[in-house]
Structure 1
């Protein structure tokens, strides 16, 4: 490694989501006794956001709090609280919101996606989102102050389904309407979709598919057919967007703004930049991966191990990942788990009801023990306990 103890190799990780935190902990824990590499993690919040539980936060339920500094304790990684405002890929610097400039030798870009509230007029001003705990808490306060009325959940994807079910169960006095262009669970096996439909009906969630919201007003939404629907509150889960920072930095991005990587997660235009999680356009033999916790954590770990291999003068190994399941909660005591082929297409195997709810709870809780194991990980290898078919992460030695 071409570094010295006096001037360690600086690895900067942007974003402490599932992918970014996995990369930071794995890399720092493996090098904490060496002194020739320093890991800095940048994130706007002190706490790790369990995105898989934000629908619970949005209905006033308490969830466990994971402090990022405590998660990094003992690894040697440095935490910087701040929002990234610019990346200079040529100068190898990053600016955070208080105008501090951070230098890097290697960058791990893990700035995740947020709800796309900019393409539909009024969505940004009048709709709630589940982008983070603060946004979810705002919705929880709004719902708690309603005695009656309709809550419109715009977006019939799995985030919308989970949120609609949770709101209906926790606030039975409110009417919940799930709007979307497609039917909920459209990509699932018929058995899984049937259970999902039954659960939504049991909870009193009305579903309207083929609906395209064209405008959000303070007390209603307008649809493409010209009709309007009164709404005491609107939750926007229809589509996501990415930060424009990567494109502005001159990194090669795809049409969605994701950093285009090679098969080792390195930017095709700037090999000193690694992209993981939602921020990366990673091509597998079945196509480009879509961002989930299931793929985010393994990609973060793989990036960390690849950085070590490259710094040691070794050839990086390709990242291979296959999806395994799609767990969807339907309130606190019901769920559906759709097991999948590696390309995320549905298999015939489906788990429903209380067993599925227990399964989903186990998967949701997995980051806690996983991060703890990462902190204690020796440099000889790592086993990936859950998620996709990327189950064995090989040694860097």
Structure 2
């Protein structure tokens, strides 16, 4: 810590005409001249080790309105302008741009209580919105289904199912307990000035991730990759961050791609916190906080999945939270699969949506099915979905559709491995 004498000497130094002449010529905080300036004053005052701390000290110690004060004030403004220009050039958003994006995507909204949503629920003949979803009371029923079976739309009997059209936002509520069982919100982040760029970015990062990382469901149709904390393969007993790259890429590129994936997961989580009913997201948030699991970033979640052209078989998941949350980034006709005049076509890794047999009803599939609730959710770009993973569910096989999305699963096995390590006294670093 600098002494009083050192501070006085530093005060004289920042007012020297020779120093002010150097300051007048600076604008780049990373230039060699700026580095030399900081090095010179830090020899006198050891607490001043950055250009920002030097500027703050100089503005505090020079008299407002004097030439010396104006010179240092000018440097502060030039440094700010330089950094803002560098952000724009690199594609990094400024604080104002971030606030504008938050407002444009309606992320400043707070969750509404189910009672308010019920009161404002549109009648069946009126359109819905993700802020005013339709409330449907529906009770779960016993179901007989084979786990691990594929859901093929042309073969499966959907009679008696509630079909949610691609433009309908619906929340399904148990009539006896008044607990939410399934939430389907449409049009998330669509219609904003930044929507096209945002969705293009999300789709690209999912495509890159599915190309570079290990497919954790290699026997299923499509690709699923994992980010964040995981418990390794089922036969192992480990806990750590997923190391899933299968391609050789340099460390800096890997970090950039990891940060992109974390940003996408964080955006999904923020959509959930803004638009899902208060009771639902409140319950999930409590489950996550009580789990004690380390996060990938501040206010983020522990793990996530990125999927492309993926169809899940009939299954149920063990989760430490009551809901699994997903956001559909794309669900649209796949041009590669539309040339279907041939009776058969070979599947490729790039387009697992290509059908193996001729189907005159192309395109279809990729729709979510809750078997005990008897609900078929016709998928669409911009769908935010929260379902109860403990009940049998799956997605219908894709035919002529390109689909990709992000899922937050809250895997029970990850929590169990973490709890086991904590019980043994192992320290696990929290990424906060």
Do these two structures clear the TM 0.5 threshold for a shared fold by scoring above it?
A: no
TM-score, structure 1 as length reference: 0.24
Structure with a larger share of its residues in strand: 1
TM-score, structure 2 as length reference: 0.22
Larger-Rg structure: 2
